């Protein structure tokens, strides 16, 4: 069965999309640790990130860097934390989390509650920054 993230890529489940390339996709985490917490995934469904072939692995991290740079240009933060972690969704994903303090990188911290409009506004801001900084994708 397709993963939740494959369904998001295919448009079968809605998301707050940030950017996509031929092989990668970025969207806001629905249960964020901080405003702008994003997930970056390969479109090709693969459970474990170290099972990606080398080209896709590097492409994914290059894409995540662009999403992170776009995010830090619009979300006030000290830096963007990056974690590959998680046993819940069997589809490799990189968490990009705008952080000001260490607890914002802890998955045992309380999550930030956002309204649909806030999610939409944040995704729109990061998406516009991404397009401006990386017009070629």
27 binds ligand 5GP (CB under 6 A): yes
113 binds ligand 5GP (CB under 6 A): no
Closest residue to bound ligand 5GP by CB? 86
86 binds ligand 5GP (CB under 6 A): yes
Structure tokens that stand for 20 in this block: 């996509």
CA 39 distance to own-chain centroid: 2
CA 50 distance to own-chain centroid: 18
Among candidate residues 37, 58, 91, 93, the one labeled active-site is 93
104 binds ligand 5GP (CB under 6 A): no
Q: Which of 15, 67, 75, 129 binds ligand 5GP (CB under 6 A)?
A: 15
Q: Which residue number, 27 or 130, has a Cβ lying nearer to ligand 5GP?
A: 27
CA distance 54 to 57: 5
| Residue 42 CB contacts under 8 Å (≥ 6 apart), including other chains | 23, 24, 25, 52, 56, 59, 60, 92
Q: How far is the CB of 89 from ligand 5GP (least distance, A)?
A: 4
How far is the CA of 21 from the CAs of 4, 40, 88, in angstroms? Answer: 19, 11, 25
112 binds ligand 5GP (CB under 6 A): no
37 as an active site residue: the answer is no
C-alpha closest to that of 31 among 75, 78, 86: 86
Q: How far is the CB of 119 from ligand 5GP (least distance, A)?
A: 9
Task: Give the interface with ligand 5GP as residue ranges (CB under 6 A).
Answer: 4, 13, 15, 27-31, 39, 85-89
Give the active site residues. 93
């Amino acid at each position: 069965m397709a993963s939740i993230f494959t369904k998001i890529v295919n448009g079968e489940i809605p998301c707050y999309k940030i950017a996509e390339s031929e092989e990668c996709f970025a969207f806001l985490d629905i249960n964020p640790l901080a405003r702008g917490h994003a997930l970056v995934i390969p479109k090709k469904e693969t459970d474990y990130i170290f099972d990606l072939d080398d080209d896709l692995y590097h492409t994914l991290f290059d894409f995540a860097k662009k999403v992170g740079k776009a995010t830090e240009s619009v979300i006030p933060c000290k830096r963007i934390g990056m974690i590959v972690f998680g046993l819940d969704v069997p589809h490799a994903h990189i968490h990009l989390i705008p952080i000001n303090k260490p607890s914002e990188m802890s998955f045992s911290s309380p999550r930030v509650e956002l309204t649909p409009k806030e999610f939409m506004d944040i995704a729109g801001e990061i998406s516009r920054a991404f397009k401006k900084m990386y017009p070629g994708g």
